[in-house]
Amino acid sequence: MQRRSLKIIKWLFILAVAAVLPSATISWAQGKTALSPAAKGGQKVFEQNCALCHFADQANAKIGPGLKGVLKNKELPYSHKPATVANAREQVEKGNPQGKPMAMPPFGNKLSKTQLDNLLDYLKTL
C-alpha cells in the first residue's frame, strides 16, 4: 500500500513538471525576444546604421561605447549627460564631430522621423 502511494506521488510530480515546464520555457523565451513592432523596426535601423560601431548586447566599446542598458543607466556613456531619450536622440541626430576615438556621424538627415522614433524605442529595451 505504501509503495503504491509513493508511486502515485512520483507520477503526480512528473505530471506537474511536465505541465509547468513548457509554459515556463515559453515565457522565458518571450521575455528574451518580445519587442514591440516599433522596437523591432528600430532594431533593424540599429543593425544597418549603428552596429558597425556599437554593441547592443554589451557595455564594452566597439568603436563607440557599448549601448547595453544605455537608457536604463543614469548617464550616457561618453558625454555623461543624463540618459534621457531626448539626449540620446540628440546624439543620434547630430552625431559628435569631436567624438573619440573618432567622430560619430550625424543621422538626422539620413533617417526618417519614424525610423528615429523606432530606434529610440529599441534603445530603451537594451
Q: Interface residues with ligand HEC (CB under 6 A)?
A: 49-50, 52-54, 63-65, 67, 70, 76-79, 81, 88, 91-92, 96, 99-100, 102, 104-105, 107, 119
Report helix, strand or coil for 61.
Answer: coil
Beta strands per DSSP E along the chain: none
If the CB atoms of residues 3 and 113 are measured against ligand HEC, the closer one turns out to be: 113
Crossing angle of helices 113-125 and 85-94, in 10° steps, is 130
38 or 53: CB nearest ligand HEC: 53
As a whole number of angstroms, the distance between CA 126 and CA 108 comes to 21
Which residue has its beta carbon closest to ligand HEC? 99
